[in-house]
Structures are given as structure tokens and as C-alpha cells.
Structure 1
Amino acid sequence: MSGLNASLGYFVAVVIFAASVRTLLRKWHQLGFILEFASSFMLVACWLEVQTIIEVGEWAGGLGPDVTVTMLFVVLLTHGVICGGTSGNPSLVVLKFLKLEATTLPTLLAVVSQFLGAHLGLLVAAFYWGLELTDMHMIKNLMAAECSTSLLVSLLQGFFTEFVCALIFHLVHLSLRRRSALIRVPLIAVLLTFLSHTARGFTSSFINPSLAYGLTFYCPGFTFTEYAVVYWLGSLTGMTLALLLYMGHIPRIFAKNLLYCQKTRVRVPKGDKGKKKKM
């Protein structure tokens, strides 16, 4: 329990930081990229601790999979509630760009900020592990230099896994985008938790390029390029196909609807039909 108490304190500190940044900068819309920085930092820093509990706590601390799955869901739910409109996910930022909902410069600033936030989350988590507050964190600190990669399959299998998971996630996300946050946020958290747990033996299904960068790119076993192919290209390809399937076209690239026919029906009033017949 001491390990869980230490982790809880860590989670609370990270959430308070992200919430404080959001509160201070909420009125300055032109600084939205800083909100993305805080959102990505919170997601990566918290997920790294959940990953620690999964890797070490389940065999060293006697914590079952039900505990780790519950903690991951709580982290994702809290992130959705605290961060609101900021996703901390480059795929969702690029999605807005492809839908013509964002211009080039804000998109680039947001993506760069998300990767910087992910890197800071990695540094903060490493510092926290270095404190060795519990046996679990002491073991994690010893393992940090030779961490276990989340990519446990071949490059092709990994790419396909991230592609399919990203396709499912973005189709659901697009379908729920107009729903109330009370419905959308819990459902997205449940979906991400389910996909991550299901793909745990493959890629862990991050569906988030900056999250994957913070969680597994520094681990040995694959090159940076191979990780990028799986977690960046696979995720973005799945997102692009989801947008194409949902809208029938990609607005940023072409305006013509390729998949769905939009028939315009012009109704003629009955009175006008009678006049035409008389004439």
C-alpha cells in the first residue's frame, strides 16, 4: 500500500500542475499550444507511473491486473476532465488541421508543444523514480536505463495493431464529438483503457505519437525509425482512414466526397404542380 500511496501523491502533484496551467491561461486563446504542453505532460507523466505499477507492482507489490486497469482508466478519465478541449495527442491536432478547423502555424506549435510536454513528463518521472521512495520505485529506477519496450511484436504486426486501434478510436471520437462531455469523456476513457489492455502484448495501443515517444522510444530493442513507423505512421494512417470513412473525403486535401453521394432534393409545392398541369 505504501507504493500506491506514493503513486497517488505523484498523480495529485502532476494533476495540480496541469490544472493550474489551464486555469492561468484559459483566457488567452493564442497561447493554446501551452495548454497542449501541459496536457501532454500530464498524460505522459501519469501513464509512466501506471506503466511502473504494471511492470513492477504486479510481481513485486502483489498488485493484480484489475488494479492497474482501474488506475489507467482513472488517469484517462481525469485527463479528459481536467484538460477539456486540449488532447495532448498530435493525431487529434492533425485531425483538426485536415478538417480545416485549424491553420498551419497553430497546428505546428501544438504538435511541438505536445512532444516537449512528453519529454518533460519523462524527465519528471525519472527524477521521481530516482528518489526511490518505495521498493517499487527503487526497482524501477534500476530498470530505467534498460527499460522494456512496449513493442513486443514485429514491425509489420506493430504497425497493423496501431493502425487498427487508431482507426477504431478515431471513428468513435468523430462520432462522439458533438455529444455532451458527460457522455464523451467517460466513453473515450473506457475505449482507450480497453484498447490499451487488449493490445498490451503487442504495442500497448497508445494511439498518440507524443505519448509513445515518452513511454517507449528510449527503450532498446528497436531503432527510432522503427518506433516512428509503428507509433507515428501507424497512428496517423489509421486516423486519416477514419476521417475518410466518416466524412467521405479529407477537406484539407480534396473537397469532393469520394464515398458518399449527397443528393439534393428540391420539393415543388403542390399548388405549383397544379398550375403547371393546367397550363
Structure 2
Amino acid sequence: MSGLNASLGYFLAVVIFATSVRTLFKKWPWFSFIMEFASSFMLVACWLEVQTIVEVGEWAGGLGPDVTLTMLFGVLLTHGIICGGMSGNPTLVVLKFLHLEVTSLSTLLAISAQFLGAYLARLFAVYYWRLELTDMHMIKNMMASECSTSLLVSRLEGFFTECVCALIFTLIHLSLQRRSALIRVPVIAILLTFLSYTARNYTSAFINPSLAYGLTFHCPGFTLVEYAVVYWLGSLTGMTLALLLYVGHIPRIFARNLLYFQKTRFRVPKGDKAEKKKM
């Protein structure tokens, strides 16, 4: 239980940091990219600890798959509650950009902040492991330089896995946009937990370029370009296809609906039609 208590303390420290940043900058919409930084930092830092429990927790701390799934769901649920509209996910920021909800500048600032948050979260987690507070973290510290990649299939299979998972996630995300947070946040957390567990032997279904960058890009086995094709291009392709299927077009690129016929909102009265024919 000591390992679990240390992990819970770590999670609490990261959550307090993200909450403090959100509280400080919530009043200034122009600094929303800083909240995206905090959101990405929280997600990557917490997921790295969950990943540690998955890799060595079962035989170093007696923590089984049920514990890891519960903790992953708890992390995703807490992230959704605390960060609110700040996703910490570049794919969702690009989705807003394609949907004409944000400008080019705010998109670039948000994505840059998310990758910076992922990078610093990685450094923070490595520092925490070096403290070796438990046997589990001591082993993780020894393994840190030789981590195992989350990409366990070929580039093509990985690309299609991330693409399909991003397609499913984005369609559900779009359909829940107008729902209450009491429904939306738990459903998204359950969905991401399910996709991650289902794809654990393929890509782990991060569906988040900055999250993948913080968790697996530094691991040997694939080049940066190969990782980018799977986790960046795959996620963006799935998101774009989902937007096209949901809306019928890409608003940023096509003004005309390409898939669905749009009926006019105004109907001409039958009497007017008869008079026009007589004339």
C-alpha cells in the first residue's frame, strides 16, 4: 500500500498545481493557452504514473490491472472536472479551428503550450522517480533510460488504430457537446479508459499528440517521424473524418455541405405557388 499512497500523493500534488493555474488565469480569456499548458501537464504527469503502475506495479507493489484501470479512469475523470473546456489535446484544438471556433493565433499558442506542458510533465515525473520513495519507483527509475514503447505494431497498423479510435472518440465528443457536464465528463472518461484498455496491445489509443509525445516518443524502437505518423497524423486524420461525417463538410475549408442535403428553413405557401403559376 505504500506504493499506492505515494502515487496518490503525487496525483494530488499535480492536481493542486493544475487547479491553482486554472484559478489564477480563469478571469483572463487571453491567457487560455496557459490553462492548456496546465491541462496538458496534469494529464501527462498523471498518465506517466499510471503507466508506471501498469509496467511494474503488479510485481513490485502488488497492484493489479483492476487498480490501474480504476486509477486511469479516476485521472481522466478528475482531469475533465478540473480542466473543463481546456482539453490538453492538440487534436481537439485543431477540431475547434476547423470548425471556425478559434483563430489561427490562439490555435498555435494552445498547441505550443500543450507540448510544453507535456515536456515539463515528463521532466517532473523523472525527478519524482529519482526520489525512489518506493520499490516501484526505484525500479522505474532504473528502467527510465530504457523504456518500452507503447507502439507494439507496425506503423500502418498503428496509424489505422489511432485513426479509428480518434474517429470514434471525436464523433462521441461532438455528439455530447451540448450535454450537461454531469453526463459529458464521465462518458468521455469511460470512453477513453475503454479505448486505452482495448488498444493496449496496439498503440494504447492516446488520441492525443502531446500525450503521446510525453509518454512514448522518447522510447527506442521507432523514429520520431514514425511516431508522428502514428500518433499525430493518425489522430488528426480520424478527427477530420469524424468532423466530415458529423457536419457534412469541413467549415474551415468547404462552405458547402458535401455529404448532407440541407433543407431550406422557409417554406413557400401553396397559395403563393398557385398564383405564380397563373402569372
TM-score, normalisation: structure 2: 0.97
Q: Deviations 1:93-144 (Å, cap 9, x if unpaired)?
A: 0000000100100100000000000001000000000000000000000000
Structure 1 residue 278, shift from structure 2 partner: 10
For the structure 1 residues 92 and 276, does the alpha-carbon distance in structure 2 shift closer, same or farther, using more than 3 Å as the test? Answer: closer
In 2, the alpha carbon distance for the partners of 1:208 and 1:249 equals 23
In 2, the alpha carbon distance for the partners of 1:231 and 1:64 equals 27
Counterpart position of 1:187:
187
For the structure 1 residues 254 and 270, does the alpha-carbon distance in structure 2 shift closer, same or farther, using more than 3 Å as the test? Answer: closer
In 1, the alpha carbon distance for the partners of 2:140 and 2:96 equals 37
Q: What are the equivalent positions in structure 2 for 1:222-233 lying under 5 Å apart?
A: 222-233=222-233
Structure 1 residue 203, shift from structure 2 partner: 0.3
Which amino acid in the other structure matches residue 223 of structure 1? Answer: T
Which amino acid in the other structure matches residue 207 of structure 1? Answer: I
- Percent identity of equivalent pairs: 81
Counterpart position of 2:124:
124
Structure 1 residue 62, shift from structure 2 partner: 1.9
In 1, the alpha carbon distance for the partners of 2:232 and 2:267 equals 48
Structure 1 residue 263, shift from structure 2 partner: 1.9
Structure 1 residue 264, shift from structure 2 partner: 1.5
Q: Deviations 1:189-228 (Å, cap 9, x if unpaired)?
A: 0000000000000000000000000000000010111000
Q: RMSD over aligned Cα, in angstroms?
A: 1.6
Structure 1 residue 32, shift from structure 2 partner: 0.5
Q: What are the equivalent positions in structure 2 for 1:51-200 lying under 5 Å apart?
A: 51-200=51-200
Matched residue SS, 1:254: coil
Structure 1 residue 267, shift from structure 2 partner: 3.1
Counterpart position of 2:7:
7
Counterpart position of 2:252:
252
Matched residue SS, 2:253: coil
Unaligned runs of 5+ in 1: none
For the structure 1 residues 220 and 266, does the alpha-carbon distance in structure 2 shift closer, same or farther, using more than 3 Å as the test? Answer: same
For the structure 1 residues 151 and 273, does the alpha-carbon distance in structure 2 shift closer, same or farther, using more than 3 Å as the test? Answer: closer
Matched residue SS, 2:204: coil
Q: What are the equivalent positions in structure 2 for 1:190-269 lying under 5 Å apart?
A: 190-264=190-264, 266-269=266-269
Counterpart position of 1:40:
40
In 2, the alpha carbon distance for the partners of 1:271 and 1:60 equals 81
In 1, the alpha carbon distance for the partners of 2:71 and 2:112 equals 28
In 2, the alpha carbon distance for the partners of 1:218 and 1:91 equals 20
Structure 1 residue 63, shift from structure 2 partner: 1.4
In 1, the alpha carbon distance for the partners of 2:93 and 2:273 equals 51
For the structure 1 residues 275 and 106, does the alpha-carbon distance in structure 2 shift closer, same or farther, using more than 3 Å as the test? Answer: closer
In 2, the alpha carbon distance for the partners of 1:204 and 1:127 equals 24
Structure 1 residue 266, shift from structure 2 partner: 3.9
Number of aligned residues: 279
For the structure 1 residues 66 and 99, does the alpha-carbon distance in structure 2 shift closer, same or farther, using more than 3 Å as the test? Answer: same
